[in-house]
């Protein structure tokens, strides 16, 4: 049986380690994930290097005007028949309208055990709060920041000598395992 591939776009703003990891996952495993497009609001994003390396189309939008930028993005998504969006360190908030159009088809990875620590600086906040555990979450995106339905989470122990840097490193490693798992779960229902 031929697997029907789901064309997917990954949205990034920075390093792109999750982007790279998802590309590798899509290539190796026999699954429905087909990363066809990367979108970035930042032409300097390091992660764009992987688009070149793995020959994935890229679209960069400058966000001077959010509405116009989102229209450009929507056009690129349409042209490429994109059915799933994976946010991976994308530092722009998508509008309600945009999210509505892709309702239930936008995923995000967040470096905390949501609903704890929405937004930024999650690792430092977990340490300052003397939490025993932090971790990462893959969730659907809705109109409220980091608040959509949770798909899957992974706990990571916070050790006494952890700093936000060491904790971020440990959690990022787990993110690279968790995001593909979440995608497999979502794709099995598409």
Q: Which residues are catalytic?
A: 110
Residue nearer to ligand GRF on the CB measure, 73 or 182: 182
CA separation for the pair 59, 44 (Å, rounded): 13
85: three-class secondary structure by DSSP: strand
Question: Measured at the alpha carbon of residue 183, what is the angle toward residues 178 and 189, in degrees to the nearest 5?
Answer: 140
**Window of 2-10, 12-20, 27-35, 53-61 that interacts with ligand GRF by CB under 6 A:** 12-20
**C-alpha torsion 174→176→179→180, nearest 10:** -120
Residue nearer to ligand GRF on the CB measure, 16 or 148: 16
The answer to whether 73 contacts ligand GRF (rule: CB under 6 A) is: no
Q: Is 58 in the site for ligand GRF (CB under 6 A)?
A: no
Q: Peptide bond before 115: cis, by omega within 30 degrees of 0? A: yes
* Greatest pairwise CA separation for the chain in angstroms: 52
Report the site for ligand GRF in 106-135 (rule: CB under 6 A). Answer: 109-111
Residue 19 or 98: the one with the smaller Cβ distance to ligand GRF is 19
According to the binding rule CB under 6 A, does residue 32 interact with ligand GRF?
no
């Amino acid at each position: 049986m031929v697997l029907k591939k789901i064309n997917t776009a990954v949205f990034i703003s920075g390093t792109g380690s999750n982007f790279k990891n998802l590309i590798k996952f899509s290539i190796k495993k026999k699954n429905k994930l087909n990363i066809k497009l990367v979108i970035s609001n930042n032409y300097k994003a390091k992660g764009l290097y992987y688009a070149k390396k793995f020959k994935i189309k890229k679209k960069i939008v400058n966000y001077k005007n959010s509405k116009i930028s989102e229209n450009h993005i929507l056009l690129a998504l349409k042209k490429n028949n994109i059915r799933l969006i994976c946010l991976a360190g994308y530092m722009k908030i998508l509008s309600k309208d945009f999210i509505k159009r892709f309702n239930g088809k936008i995923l995000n990875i967040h470096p905390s055990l949501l609903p704890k620590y929405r937004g930024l600086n999650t690792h430092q906040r977990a340490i300052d709060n003397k939490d025993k555990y932090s971790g990462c979450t893959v969730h659907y995106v809705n109109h409220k920041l980091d608040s959509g339905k949770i798909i899957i989470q992974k706990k990571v122990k916070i050790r006494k000598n952890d700093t936000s840097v060491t904790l971020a490193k440990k959690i990022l490693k787990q993110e690279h395992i968790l995001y593909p798992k979440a995608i497999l779960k979502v794709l099995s229902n598409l």
